[in-house]
Structure 1
Amino acid sequence: MSFESLFLPLLIVLLAVPMFLQARKQKRAVQEQQKLQNSLTAGDRVMTTSGLFGTVVSSADDSIDLEIAPGVVTTWVRAAVREKVTTEEAAEAPATEQDEAAPAAEAKEAEGEQKDATDATSESSAQIAEPIEKQKTS
């Protein structure tokens, strides 16, 4: 047998095996995602594909209601849920953001107070335009 007669079967095997393995991997990922989305119940903390965290309030066949802030409930397609979030991870993320934001907010307040004091001592040459409603009626 020559190399030419083995070339075509070898080429087919080299292309078919990776394609088969990739399809199998993708099928498994889809099954896991469907299993997760079907297991969601009220009270579960989740993250959507857009990165929004929320708590499941209720669910229907193809949609799910998430509470994203106290008293703010939004409706999402079930497929938009990426993963369940443990309470430890969810508690750490907002606490970290608040800790970082607090010193920055205090610095801005102090800056604003200094600016207000400076503005009070110096007059501004800026003119204020009259409201648009008054401009239309005149």
Structure 2
Amino acid sequence: MFVTPAYAQAAGSGGTAAFAQFIPLILIFAIMYFLMIRPQQKRVKQHRAMVEALKKGDQIVTQGGILGKVTSVRDDEVEVEIATGVKVRVVRATISQVLSRTEPVAANN
């Protein structure tokens, strides 16, 4: 008598209503993953592969905008010649781009 039919119907569908409230949050997370997180992970993976493939003679650009030629490669740093006789050491992670790669000499058969 004191419970109206509308309250009685709402009490029975509580489980599906709670799940329906989480659907927009799940969709937002999925959209954020495919538009932001996944491309960033791909870019980091490409940068890591580029930095690991550095070798002597490569022309590079650092994040600070310095252009130079790699003269030696060590574990975590690279020595770069930015002018004739001027060499600087830079951390590998600060290299933003490889302009030209040196090709290995092919063995003559």
Superposition TM-score, scaled by structure 1 size: 0.56
Question: Residue in 2 aligned with 1:26?
Answer: 40
Question: Residue in 2 aligned with 1:62?
Answer: 76
CA deviations 1:80-113 (Å, max 9, x no partner) are 10011138xxxxxxxxxxxxxxxxxxxxxxxxxx
Structure possessing the higher relative contact order (Cα contacts under 8 Å, 6 or more residues apart): 2
CA deviations 1:34-86 (Å, max 9, x no partner) are 00000000000000011110000001111000000000000000011001113
**CA RMSD of superposed structures (Å):** 2.1
Of 21, 29, 42, the residue aligned with 1:8 is 21
* Structure 2 gap segments, 5+ residues each: 1-12, 102-109
Aligned equivalents of 1:57, 1:63: Cα separation in 2: 11
Number of equivalent positions: 86
Runs (4 or more) in structure 1 with deviation over 6 Å come to none
**Sequence identity of aligned pairs in percent?**
27
In the TM superposition, 1:63-78 aligns within 5 A as 63-78=77-92
Superposition TM-score, scaled by structure 2 size: 0.70
Question: Residue in 1 aligned with 2:65?
Answer: 51
Q: Per residue, is there more helix in 1 or in 2? A: 1
One-letter amino acid of the structure 2 residue matched with residue 10 of structure 1: I
CA positional deviation for 1:7: 4.0
* Structure 1 gap segments, 5+ residues each: 88-138
